[in-house]
Amino acid sequence: MYLIRSFLASVTIAARMEKASKLSPFRLSSLLRLETNPDLALQLFRNPNQTPAKPFRRSARSYDLIVCKLGKARRFMEMEDVLNQMSREYRFAPKEVLLCRVIYFYGCARMPTAARRTFYRIPSFRCPRTIRSFNSLLHATLGCGDLEGVWSLCRDLDDFGLAPDACTYNLLIRAQVLAGRLEGAWELFDEMQTKGITPSIVTFGTLVSSLCANSMLDDAFRLKETMLKQYNVKPHVYIYTSLIKGLCKIGKLDLALQLKEEMLLDKDLVMDSAVYSVLIRALFKASRKGEVVGILEEMKRIGIKPDVVTYNAMISGFCNDEKDFDAAFETLNEMVRQGCKPDVLTYNILIAGLCEAGRWKDASELFDDMPRRMCHQDVVSYRTLFKGLSDAGEFRKARMVLDEMLFKGYKPHPASTIKFFEGLLNVEKDWNIICFSLASMVKANAIGFDEWEKMVGNTVMESEKLKVGVLLNHLTMR
């Protein structure tokens, strides 16, 4: 199949190049825009004319299109080649927005160093570097979880000769919140106002969300009133959802439902499924399952279709609160009938619930059936089933799951690992299996020193039946 696709691709590009023996820069841009295959697009970009009488003058639009196609496909080596070629163009200078996209692509790929390198080389393209590209770099660095990189960029801001704007402060406030520094976030909030920068809806959304996450609901509601009265900024759905989630977290479900009614009265506010998903999960936790039907009917009445988050909330309620797995699987089937594809979290919720209920066979069957259902297991799927089998005393089956997860590069949770080996020692008492599994984890670098010391030093080595040489033999042979 791969050979057939490769052949068809080569035929396609050859046919296009034959038709375009005298391709114009404008026509090249049109073809690049229509081409969805990044390989064909790159070949077309590099060889627009088969026998050119003079060098082909590619337009800025052509460079923009090919860079974005390669960046989206994460073909970074080829993208850098095109960028180097563009830097040698003397007929035009690229717009900063293109280089912001390059920084964004590197951020999505969790490559903060490459994103920073792109930012530093912007002047080499004869393109002015503004706060816009700095914000792109800040966003990419923050998205990679590199908080130290964020603080470093903040310190270097003056050296770049740039003045922060509202977007800069929003990102820095977000970084402070992620670092658990609420006081630092409020200091930035005050600082931006002293510099004449008006807080935006994003600023308030970040602060309200952080207050709700820390159960500071009184402060969150005061800020909601302040943003409306003092700054004339109306709360949007995200802020209301944060408030409702915070109220549900501290058990004030009736107040959360009242706040939802307040949202319905605001005709300018566009409701979404997130608000209802939070309420559905809270109703299950509060043993008020009967009210979920009314929530679903209200969603249908106002034209909001349940999404995967909504269905997951119901499945979680049936599994974790009601222990009604028939209803959980019926919800799963209804989800599919309505054209909503279950995600890996859907199956992980079911597997975890089944394991906690001692139904490890059903959990194993569902785990094995996931690929047929067009959903591949992730590290949480493996960890959940491995823990469930170990808790149920099914250590040989757990060992098979362990081997598969190690093969895929996943690591079990340390606590589950210790319980697994303690079970092998006390129940199975098969020293070859114990040593083989230990050696497999060592070879996969899936066991830390503390776990090794506890399992080997305190558990395994205490048994007189186990010879140290057996373990060493497995370690050296694998």
Report domain extents, the chain. 164-250, 399-478
Whether the predicted pLDDT of 473 surpasses 60: no
- The Cα 275–Cα 264 span in angstroms is 11
Mean pLDDT of the chain: 89
Rg (CA), the chain: 29
Cα–Cα distance between 316 and 283 in angstroms, integer? 12
**Looking at residue 291, what DSSP letter applies?**
G
Residue 24 has pLDDT above 60, yes or no: yes
Kindly tell me if the per-residue pLDDT of 427 is higher than 80: no
- What gap in Å lies between CA 413 and CA 197, rounded to an integer? 46
pLDDT digits (tens, 9 = 90+) for 286-325: 999 999 999 999 999 999 999 999 999 999 999 999 999 9
Please state the rounded mean pLDDT for residues 367-391.
Answer: 96
Quickly list DSSP for 395-418: HHHHHHHHHHHHHTT----HHHHH
- Is pLDDT at 112 greater than 60 in this prediction? yes
> Six-digit token pair at 249?
């977290």
- B/e letters for 391-414, b = 16+ CB within 10 Å, e = fewer, are bbebbebbbebbeebbeeebbbee
Secondary structure class of 145 (helix, strand, coil): coil
Residue 75 has pLDDT above 90, yes or no: yes
Sign of the Cα pseudo-torsion (307, 309, 313, 315, in order):
positive
Report whether pLDDT(29) > 50.
yes
Distance CA 177, CA 211 (A): 10
Q: Which of 29-33, 131-135, 161-165 has the lowest mean pLDDT?
A: 29-33
Q: Out of 86-90, 251-255, 360-364, pick the least confident.
A: 86-90
Using one digit for the tens of pLDDT, what is the confidence trace for 171-228? Answer: 999 999 999 999 999 999 999 999 999 999 999 999 999 999 999 999 999 999 999 9
Q: What is the pLDDT of residue 3?
A: 45
50 band by pLDDT with thresholds 50, 70 and 90: low
pLDDT band at 361 (very low <50, low <70, confident <90, very high): very high
Sign of the alpha-carbon torsion through 393, 397, 403, 406: negative
CA dist 314 → 74, 113, 291, 361, 477 (Å): 37, 42, 12, 23, 49
For the chain, give the longest Cα–Cα distance. Answer: 84
Confidence of residue 475 (pLDDT cuts 50, 70, 90): very low
Structural contact between residues 94 and 60, judged by C-beta atoms closer than 8 angstroms: yes
| Residue 39 amino acid letter | D
pLDDT at 451 over 80: no
Fold of 164-250: 1.25.40
Report the range of poorest mean pLDDT among 53-62, 233-242, 336-345.
53-62
Query: Tokens at residue 400, please?
Result: 């098979």
Task: Name the residue among 250, 278, 275 with its Cα closest to residue 262.
Answer: 275
